[in-house]
A and B are shown apart, each in its own frame.
Chain A
């Protein structure tokens, strides 16, 4: 009997849109990365020179690797700080503590606020001259702080803002997964005398491999493509002494030019995006392979 191919009609629209808006631009970026081109006029083929400049030219490589290391430090923060916090709050909501619905709303609300509004809130809080925090410190007779202007603090503030804004997204994925855990498992652990900690680590956590896998993969991609929050907090130059500079911001500066300077370099910018694409691809594959290995049997 001939197999029906009607499913192609359902797949085709999404496939065509994905190809036009995702695959083709990626291929174009790869193509442009071999050229010296500012967006108009002649494209001059320069082979791998854009990549050579990015990775070996002293000044450029210093900027790129500083930004890349910030991406990875942030990824580390996601793994050791942000994900556990998301997990903790998901569990707290799942066991229905007092006021859990209010807590759920408060934790999820910042996620629906746009990043530009988050930037505005950050100015209200952290501006050394007119910010709320310095006003409080000043009224208490304490020494005011430079906040985002302090190189030792700016990255920590950035991570704090990310936690505040993004905690809701991963938390909801964990929470949804926890809801699927059969009550019988939880009840059995309670009958066996497991306390809250034991119940979490021995019963709940092993059931969360699917949400952990999703959250970790998404976090890796999100961390390596970070742009909007540091841009709003530290401007296009990546904050004081480039402490919150990320690779996507370097791409933005070189591909589209400075705010006033305006000299675009799409060829070089493309080489940055292609390099980052390869790094993200490699990382995602590594994470996928690692997560496969930690699959738990029951």
Chain B
């Protein structure tokens, strides 16, 4: 009997270990090596003897680059590899952090006087870049790096008082409705031509025993990336007004978008208990075919396709009542150079490469993201689906930041309370009234 229990104990431990290892294995592709830090170096230094760029800008110098999330590791590695082919004498190390700790770690290194030579920020989308500039931490690159590839709108995210403090990217961070083409075909559905047609599809999908839209109500950002296309489809005029003037954050046209989402939730179009689903779970449910659609950020294409390479994936923009297709897109920021870098020539050389058409093509393709310039064409058909839109709108989140009153922080309140709207912890109107009290 004793032996039986011993065998049972060993078997139980083994089963647990297998589950744990399998669980870790599932996330292997998104975790980084060496405890969240991954490094690489330039190719064999002996190559410098025959290098064309020997003695060129930054030759013999070394760089440390920081990125904020593992999602950007592949683009960065591809970029460094291509850069090192042209500049083998510049040694580059990179470190990939996790987004929840990134700014904290960056502040610590800045404080310790060990700022990385190049590092990512959100640009002017958050207050960090402005804070670093005012502390003299970041190099003014206005006349040092060629940013002619980028439009003035793209450069807004790196510009403070008319000077540029980072390179933008041509990547447009958008939102889209991702859909399972096989489910649509089985149910005889096609891409909706207007908002009413989109809504009419939802009960059809639900009646077929499939979740119409997988949705994470527990993550404020996932709620935002769902809310913004709904707002753009239902109230494009409010977003249009925001381009030229301050708008009322608690306008009825904004409330109506939240009301619509709650109406869909009550009808069961997000499935059971969506407020307990995290963003990864929502993407996984869609990837596995549990849901027919998922309204999400376009940067998740890779995740969806990696979750299930067999998925017959398509995308479209949520149409307005009159059939126009809005696209909520935001510019994105690249790297800044530390003011105190010991390798300024190499850092500028790298950033010039990053800001070139070649650098941006590598970046966009590795990221599988939407290019904001016709000079770069994606090879991913889903990206081309997303690019089918009639007009571009601003992000609700950006509008909050643009209109915030001095000393107020509406985006922090938004982040804290957003999910409570979906769980009915607060009314949409109450939530928007609070935000409105902190904005112009």
Contact = CB atoms under 8 A, between A and B. Distances in A.
Interface string B208-227: 00010010011111000000
A117 B280 CA distance: 15
A99 B420 CA distance: 47
Interface in A39-61: 39-41, 59
Contacts of B103: 256-257, 262-264
Contacts of A261: 126, 411-412, 415
Contacts of A241: 420, 423, 425
A113 to B, nearest CB: 7
B195 to A, nearest CB: 25
B423 A240 contact: yes
B107 A263 contact: no
Contacts of A154: 276
A145 B220 CA distance: 21
B400 to A, nearest CB: 11
Contact of A260 (B6, B122, B425): B122
Given A40-B135, A261-B126, A263-B409, A237 B277 contact: no
A287 to B, nearest CB: 33
A146 B276 contact: yes
Nearest to B414: A261
Interface string B95-133: 000011111100110110000000000100011100110
B275 interface: yes
B282 interface: yes
A63 to B, nearest CB: 7
B112 to A, nearest CB: 10
A150 B284 contact: no
Contacts of B188: none
Residue among A63, A144, A151 with most chain B CB within 10 A: A151
A262 B111 contact: no
A134 B274 CA distance: 13
Residue among A99, A109, A149, A234 with most chain B CB within 10 A: A149
B281 A105 contact: no
B123 to A, nearest CB: 11
B253 interface: no
B373 interface: no
Contact of A264 (B12, B107, B409): B107
B219 A235 contact: yes
Q: How large is the interface on A (under 10, 10 to 19, 20 to 34, 35 or more residues)?
A: 35 or more
Contacts of B56: none
Main secondary structure of the interface of B (DSSP, over half): helix
Nearest to A129: B285
A180 B24 CA distance: 41
Interface string B244-255: 000000000000
B420 A144 contact: no
B425 A130 contact: no
B211 A129 contact: yes
Contacts of B55: none
Nearest to B5: A102
A237 B222 CA distance: 13
A285 interface: no
Given A128-B273, A150-B273, A235-B218, A63 B416 contact: yes
A40 B423 contact: no
A57 to B, nearest CB: 12
A38 interface: yes
B336 to A, nearest CB: 14
Contact of B9 (A102, A117, A121): A102
A121 B425 CA distance: 27
Contacts of B20: 113, 117
B416 A144 contact: no
Given A128-B273, A148-B276, A38 B221 contact: no
B266 to A, nearest CB: 13
Interface in B1-31: 5-6, 8-9, 12-13, 16, 19-20, 23-24
Given A40-B135, A127-B281, A261-B412, A240 B218 contact: yes
B16 A144 contact: no
In the A-B complex, the 6 residue pairs with the smallest Cβ-Cβ separation, listed nearest first, are A149-B276, A146-B273, A128-B273, A39-B107, A149-B275, A241-B425
9 contacts: A38-B107, A40-B111, A129-B211, A129-B277, A130-B281, A256-B104, A261-B412, A262-B122, A264-B103
Interface of B: 5-6, 8-9, 12-13, 16, 19-20, 23-24, 99-104, 107-108, 110-111, 122, 126-128, 131-132, 134-135, 137, 211, 214, 217-221, 271-278, 280-282, 284-285, 288, 290-291, 409, 411-413, 415-416, 419-420, 423, 425
